[in-house]
Structure 1
Amino acid sequence: MSRTQQQAPVRAAIYARISRDRAGERAGVEQQERECRALAERLGWEVVAVYVDNDISAYKGKPRPQYRAMLDAVRRGDVGGLVAWHTDRLHRRLVDLEELVTLAETKHVEIRTVTAGDVDLSTAGGRMNARILAAVAQQEVEHLRERVQAKRKTMLEAGAYRGGKRPFGYRKGGMVVRPREAEVVARASRDVLAGRSLKGIARELNQQRVRTSSGAEWTSLSLRDVLIRPRNAGLIHTGKASVPTAELTIVGRAQWPALVDEDTWRAVHALLTAPSRRHPNHKTDPSWLLSGIARCGATGPEGQPCGGVIRATSIGATPSRPNITPTAHYRCAEFAHLTVLVPKTDDYVRQVVAEMVRDARVLALLSPSGDDGRMERGRERRAVLVRQIEQTEADYDADLIDARRFKAKTDRIRVELEEVETLLAEGTRAGVALPIVGARDPGQAFLDAPLDVQRQVLRTVLGVQIMPAAYRGAAWSSDRLALSRVGER
Structure 2
Amino acid sequence: MIEWRNWNFSAVSEPSAPIPVVSYARTSEDFRQRDGHGVRYQTRINERTAHEHGCMVVATYGDSGRGASRAGVIRPGFDRLVVDLRRGHTEDGQRIHGVVCVADDRLYRRTEDLARFFSALTSSPGRIYVDPQGVRDPYSEEGLLQAMRSLDAAATETRIRSRRLADWHWARAVEGVPHSGPRPFGWREDRLSLHPYEAKLVEQAITDRIGGKPIRAVAREWCDLGVTGTRGGRPNAQTVTQIITAPRACGYRASRGELLVVPQTGQPVVGRWEPVVAPEQWRAVCGTFSPGSLFMHRGSGAPRLTGNRNAAPSHLGTGFLRCGARRPDGTICHGAMCAQKGRSRRSPYVYACRSCRRCSISGPLADLALEQLLFAETHGGVRVPDGVQQRRQSDGMGLEEKRALVASAFVYCLVRPGVKGDHSWDFSRLEPVWR
> Is 1:149 paired with 2:166?
yes
- Partners of 1:145 and 1:161 in 2: CA distance: 20
- Partners of 2:139 and 2:285 in 1: CA distance: 63
- Across the aligned residues of Structure 1 and Structure 2, the Cα RMSD in angstroms comes to 3.1
User: Which residue does the alignment assign to 2:67?
Assistant: 57
> Is 1:111 paired with 2:129?
yes
- Partners of 1:131 and 1:47 in 2: CA distance: 26
- Partners of 2:191 and 2:62 in 1: CA distance: 36
User: Which residue does the alignment assign to 2:320?
Assistant: none
**What are the residue-to-residue correspondences of 1:149-168 with 2, within 5 Å?**
149-168=166-185
- Partners of 1:124 and 1:47 in 2: CA distance: 26
Identify if the C-alpha distance between structure 1 residues 270 and 9 changes in structure 2 by more than 3 Å, giving closer, same or farther. Answer: farther
Partner of 1:166, secondary structure, is coil
- Partners of 1:189 and 1:118 in 2: CA distance: 66
Whether the aligned pair in 1 keeps the contact of 2:109 and 2:154 (CA below 8 Å) is yes
- Partners of 1:273 and 1:28 in 2: CA distance: 46
- Partners of 2:25 and 2:288 in 1: CA distance: 48
Whether the aligned pair in 1 keeps the contact of 2:241 and 2:293 (CA below 8 Å) is no
Indicate the larger mover: 69-78 or 127-136: 127-136
Q: Report the alpha carbon displacement of residue 147 of structure 1 after superposing the two structures with TM.
A: 0.7
- Which one has the largest radius of gyration? 1
- Partners of 1:275 and 1:25 in 2: CA distance: 40
User: Which residue does the alignment assign to 2:82?
Assistant: 71
- Partners of 1:262 and 1:170 in 2: CA distance: 17
- Partners of 1:270 and 1:70 in 2: CA distance: 53
Higher relative contact order (CA 8 A, sep 6+): 1
User: Which residue does the alignment assign to 2:225?
Assistant: 208
Whether the aligned pair in 2 keeps the contact of 1:234 and 1:258 (CA below 8 Å) is yes
Relative to the length of structure 2, the TM-score reads 0.54
> Is 1:194 paired with 2:211?
yes
The C-alpha deviation readout for 1:199-243, integer Å capped at 9, x for no partner, is 433343344344323344433333222122111122222335xxx
**What are the residue-to-residue correspondences of 1:343-382 with 2, within 5 Å?**
none
Whether the aligned pair in 1 keeps the contact of 2:61 and 2:77 (CA below 8 Å) is yes
2:35 to 2, 25, 45: 25
User: Which residue does the alignment assign to 2:252?
Assistant: 235
Q: Report the alpha carbon displacement of residue 268 of structure 1 after superposing the two structures with TM.
A: 2.6
Partner of 1:235, secondary structure, is coil
Whether the aligned pair in 1 keeps the contact of 2:53 and 2:134 (CA below 8 Å) is no
**Amino acid in the other structure paired with 2:270:** A
1:253 to 261, 266, 269: 269
- Partners of 1:13 and 1:239 in 2: CA distance: 42
Identify if the C-alpha distance between structure 1 residues 224 and 16 changes in structure 2 by more than 3 Å, giving closer, same or farther. Answer: same
Identity across the alignment (%): 27
**Amino acid in the other structure paired with 1:82:** V
**What are the residue-to-residue correspondences of 1:334-413 with 2, within 5 Å?**
none
Whether the aligned pair in 1 keeps the contact of 2:174 and 2:260 (CA below 8 Å) is no
Partner of 2:24, secondary structure, is strand
User: Which residue does the alignment assign to 1:16?
Assistant: 25
- Partners of 2:231 and 2:121 in 1: CA distance: 49
> Is 1:271 paired with 2:282?
no
Partner of 1:111, secondary structure, is strand
- Partners of 1:18 and 1:36 in 2: CA distance: 14
Q: Report the alpha carbon displacement of residue 29 of structure 1 after superposing the two structures with TM.
A: 1.4
2:45 to 12, 25, 35: 35
Q: Report the alpha carbon displacement of residue 90 of structure 1 after superposing the two structures with TM.
A: 0.7
- Partners of 2:39 and 2:215 in 1: CA distance: 44
The C-alpha deviation readout for 1:385-440, integer Å capped at 9, x for no partner, is xxxxxxxxxxxxxxxxxxxxxxxxxxxxxxxxxxxxxxxxxxxxxxxxxxxxxxxx
User: Which residue does the alignment assign to 2:195?
Assistant: 178
Identify if the C-alpha distance between structure 1 residues 57 and 187 changes in structure 2 by more than 3 Å, giving closer, same or farther. Answer: same
- Partners of 1:15 and 1:75 in 2: CA distance: 15
What are the ranges of 5 or more consecutive residues in structure 2 without an aligned counterpart?
A: 3-14, 90-95, 262-267, 295-435
- Partners of 2:119 and 2:233 in 1: CA distance: 51
Q: Report the alpha carbon displacement of residue 103 of structure 1 after superposing the two structures with TM.
A: 4.1
Identify if the C-alpha distance between structure 1 residues 117 and 194 changes in structure 2 by more than 3 Å, giving closer, same or farther. Answer: farther
**What are the residue-to-residue correspondences of 1:69-108 with 2, within 5 Å?**
69-78=80-89, 79-108=96-125
- Partners of 1:275 and 1:139 in 2: CA distance: 36
Partner of 1:213, secondary structure, is coil
Q: Report the alpha carbon displacement of residue 97 of structure 1 after superposing the two structures with TM.
A: 2.9
- Partners of 2:252 and 2:169 in 1: CA distance: 15
The C-alpha deviation readout for 1:254-279, integer Å capped at 9, x for no partner, is 223321122322333343445599xx
Relative to the length of structure 1, the TM-score reads 0.48
Whether the aligned pair in 2 keeps the contact of 1:12 and 1:80 (CA below 8 Å) is yes
Whether the aligned pair in 1 keeps the contact of 2:82 and 2:116 (CA below 8 Å) is no
- Partners of 2:76 and 2:50 in 1: CA distance: 23
Partner of 2:66, secondary structure, is coil
Higher helix share: 1
